[in-house]
Amino acid sequence: MTQAQRSQLAARVVGVYWLMLLGGLVLFTVARIDDTTVVVPLWVGAIGGTLLGQYLALHDLRSWLAAVIIAAAALYCEPLLPLGNATAQLWQAFLPAALCGFWSLGDRAGLAATWFPAVLWMLAILDGNDARLAPDGPAAVLLGGFAVLFVWFLHARESRRIGLWRSVAAEPLAPAQPIEVLREPPGRQLARVAWGVSTGAITVAITVWLVPPLWQTEELVGPAVQIDGAPAGCVPCCPLHPTARTQTARIKEYLGLGLGHDAHPTAPLDELACRACDGAAAVITVPGIAADGEPAIAVASAAGTGDVASPGARDLARTDRGSSIGTPLAEPDAVAPATAAWTDPGSLDLAGGSPAPPAVPGSLSWTDPGAPIETTASDLPPISAAPEPPLPPQIAPPRPPAPPPSTTTAAPAPISPPAAAPQPPQPPSRGGTGPPGAPHRTATDTLGTSVLRWLALILGGAVVLHGVRLALRPLRRLVHLRHLRRPFWSETLDQRVSNAWQLALIGLRDAGWRPGATEAPAQLARRAGVVGLDRCAAILERARHGVGLDAGDLADMQASADLAYGAARTGAGRFARAVGWLRWPLT
Amino acid sequence: MPSTTHRELRIATLMAAPAIAAIASLSERNAQILHTTAPVLGMLWLCAAAALVVRAVQARRQSPADLRPPWHPLDVLTATGTAVLWISATALVGFAVTGWASLSVLGVLGLGAVFVAVLWTAIAAGGDASWRGATIARTIVPEISVEGDPLREQLRLAGIRIPAGMRLFATGRALPFGPVTRYAVGSEGSRAELCQTSELGAAVRGEHCAPPLVFWLGDVLGLTHAPAVEHGEARFSVLPRPAVVDGARAVLGAGGDDAPSRQTQRQPTEGTFRIRDYAAGDDTRRIHWVRSLQAHRLVVRLPDEIPQAEPAVRLILDTELWGAEAMACRAPGELLDALVRVWLGVARALTETGTRVTLIAAAGPTGGPAAVDWPTAPHSSREALRLGGRVAWQTTVPLGALIATDAAPAVRQVVVSSRPRTLVSSPEVAWIVVPEAAWTSAEPALPAPARIRLPFPSGSADNRLGRRRRARERSQEMRNDRTIFRHVMSCTDGTPLAGELLARPRRGRVALEVIP
Q: In this model, does residue B117 exceed pLDDT 50?
A: yes
CB contact under 8 A, A119 and B100: yes
A108: closest chain B residue by CA: B80
Q: Which residues share a beta bridge with B185?
A: B168
> What pLDDT does residue A127 have?
75
Q: What is the mean pLDDT of residues A101-105?
A: 95
Compute the mean pLDDT over every residue in chain A, rounded to the nearest whole number: 72
> What pLDDT does residue A98 have?
95
CB contact under 8 A, A210 and B112: yes
Instruction: Give the CA distances from residue B367 to residues B321, B361, B394, in Å, rounded to whole numbers and listed in that order.
Output: 14, 10, 8
CB contact under 8 A, A162 and B87: no
CB contact under 8 A, A119 and B102: yes
Q: How many CB atoms lie within 10 A of CB A71?
A: 12
User: Which spans in B73-209 are helix H?
Assistant: 79-98, 101-120
Q: B-contacting residues of A 250-279, CB under 8 Å? A: 251-254
Q: B-contacting residues of A 503-532, CB under 8 Å? A: 512, 516
B113: closest chain A residue by CA: A203
> What pLDDT does residue B378 have?
60
- The mean-pLDDT minimum among A473-482, B122-131, B135-144, B400-409 falls in B400-409
Interface test with B, best of A64, A107, A426 (most B CBs within 10 A): A107
Of B79, B98, B102, the CB nearest to A122: B102
Of B36, B83, B182, the CB nearest to A173: B182
Q: In this model, does residue A434 exceed pLDDT 90?
A: no
CB contact under 8 A, A105 and B201: no
Query: Could you tell me if A8 lies within 8 Å of chain B, comparing CB atoms?
Result: no
- Work out the minimum CA distance from A564 to partner chain B, whole angstroms: 21
Q: In this model, does residue A348 exceed pLDDT 50?
A: no
> What pLDDT does residue A236 have?
63
Using a CB-CB cut-off of 8 Å, the residues of chain B touching A59 are 453
- Work out the minimum CA distance from B190 to partner chain A, whole angstroms: 8
- The mean-pLDDT minimum among A108-117, A209-218, B431-440 falls in A209-218
Interface test with A, best of B84, B86, B100 (most A CBs within 10 A): B100
CB contact under 8 A, B185 and A179: yes
A149: closest chain B residue by CA: B109
> What pLDDT does residue A428 have?
43
CB contact under 8 A, B453 and A61: yes
Instruction: Give the CA distances from residue B104 to residues A503, B24, B29, in Å, rounded to whole numbers and listed in that order.
Output: 56, 11, 16
> What pLDDT does residue A18 have?
96
**Which one, of B444, B450, B452, lies nearest residue B462 by Cα?**
B450
Most confident of the ranges A28-32, B115-119, B447-451: B115-119
> What pLDDT does residue A362 have?
39
> What pLDDT does residue A411 have?
40
Instruction: Give the CA distances from residue B413 to residues A299, A525, B321, B496, in Å, rounded to whole numbers and listed in that order.
Output: 120, 59, 20, 17
Q: pLDDT class for B311, splitting at 50, 70, 90? A: confident
CB contact under 8 A, B222 and A183: no
Query: Could you tell me if A188 lies within 8 Å of chain B, comparing CB atoms?
Result: yes
> What pLDDT does residue A241 have?
66
Can you tell me the distance from the alpha carbon of B201 to that of B198, in angstroms, rounded to the nearest whole number?
9
CB contact under 8 A, B116 and A202: yes
> What pLDDT does residue A403 have?
44
**Which one, of B371, B372, B323, lies nearest residue B485 by Cα?**
B323
SS3 of residue B79 by DSSP: helix
Cβ pair B415, B251 in contact under 8 A: no
pLDDT in tens, B178-197: 999 999 999 888 989 999 99
A143: closest chain B residue by CA: B105
CB contact under 8 A, B83 and A216: no
Of B33, B195, B457, the CB nearest to A168: B457
Using a CB-CB cut-off of 8 Å, the residues of chain B touching A155 are 220-221
Can you tell me the distance from the alpha carbon of A567 to that of A570, in angstroms, rounded to the nearest whole number?
5
B82: closest chain A residue by CA: A108
Q: pLDDT class for A245, splitting at 50, 70, 90? A: low
Does A324 or B76 have the greater pLDDT score? B76
Of B164, B189, B193, the CB nearest to A194: B164
**Which one, of A104, A95, A21, A109, lies nearest residue A55 by Cα?**
A104
Q: B-contacting residues of A 376-435, CB under 8 Å? A: 427-428, 430-431
Query: Could you tell me if A157 lies within 8 Å of chain B, comparing CB atoms?
Result: yes
CB contact under 8 A, A173 and B221: no
pTM listed for this prediction: 0.75
Interface test with A, best of B25, B109, B167 (most A CBs within 10 A): B109
Using a CB-CB cut-off of 8 Å, the residues of chain B touching A250 are none
Q: pLDDT class for A13, splitting at 50, 70, 90? A: very high
pLDDT in tens, B165-178: 999 999 999 988 89
A146: closest chain B residue by CA: B105
Strand B144-146: give its sheet, edge to edge.
B144-146, B234-239, B206-210
Using a CB-CB cut-off of 8 Å, the residues of chain B touching A114 are 106, 109
> What pLDDT does residue A457 have?
87
Using a CB-CB cut-off of 8 Å, the residues of chain B touching A203 are 109, 112-113, 116
> What pLDDT does residue A587 have?
82
Q: What is the ipTM of this complex?
A: 0.84
Q: What is the mean pLDDT of residues A504-523?
A: 90
- Work out the minimum CA distance from A517 to partner chain B, whole angstroms: 10
- A-B CB pairs within 8 A amount to 279
Q: How many CB atoms lie within 10 A of CB B368?
A: 13
pLDDT in tens, A423-432: 444 444 443 3
Q: What is the mean pLDDT of residues A527-535?
A: 90
Does A140 or A424 have the greater pLDDT score? A140
Can you tell me the distance from the alpha carbon of B288 to that of B282, in angstroms, rounded to the nearest whole number?
12
> What pLDDT does residue A579 have?
85
**DSSP 8-state class, residue A428:** P
Q: pLDDT class for A440, splitting at 50, 70, 90? A: low
Cβ pair B375, B352 in contact under 8 A: no
Of A58, A108, A214, the CB nearest to B80: A108
Query: Could you tell me if A325 lies within 8 Å of chain B, comparing CB atoms?
Result: no
CB contact under 8 A, B101 and A122: yes
> What pLDDT does residue B141 have?
92
Can you tell me the distance from the alpha carbon of B312 to that of B399, in angstroms, rounded to the nearest whole number?
20
Can you tell me the distance from the alpha carbon of A508 to that of A531, in angstroms, rounded to the nearest whole number?
11
Does A345 or B315 have the greater pLDDT score? B315
Q: In this model, does residue B248 exceed pLDDT 70?
A: yes
Q: What is the mean pLDDT of residues A230-234?
A: 48
Using a CB-CB cut-off of 8 Å, the residues of chain A touching B456 are 60, 164, 168-170
CB contact under 8 A, A182 and B468: no
CB contact under 8 A, A192 and B195: no
Q: pLDDT class for B268, splitting at 50, 70, 90? A: low
> What pLDDT does residue A561 have?
93
First to last CA, chain B: 55
Q: In this model, does residue B364 exceed pLDDT 80?
A: no
A513: closest chain B residue by CA: B193
CB contact under 8 A, B105 and A207: yes
Residue B312 phi, psi (nearest 5): -120, 140
Q: pLDDT class for B30, splitting at 50, 70, 90? A: low
Does A128 or A556 have the greater pLDDT score? A556
pLDDT in tens, A30-55: 878 778 888 888 999 999 999 999 99
DSSP string, B232-300: --EEEEEE--PPPEE-GGGGG-SS-TTGGGS-----TTS-SSEEEE--TT--GGGB-HHHHHHHTS-EE
CB contact under 8 A, B108 and A214: yes
Does A359 or A266 have the greater pLDDT score? A266
Q: What is the mean pLDDT of residues A296-307?
A: 39
Q: pLDDT class for A412, splitting at 50, 70, 90? A: very low
Q: pLDDT class for A370, splitting at 50, 70, 90? A: very low
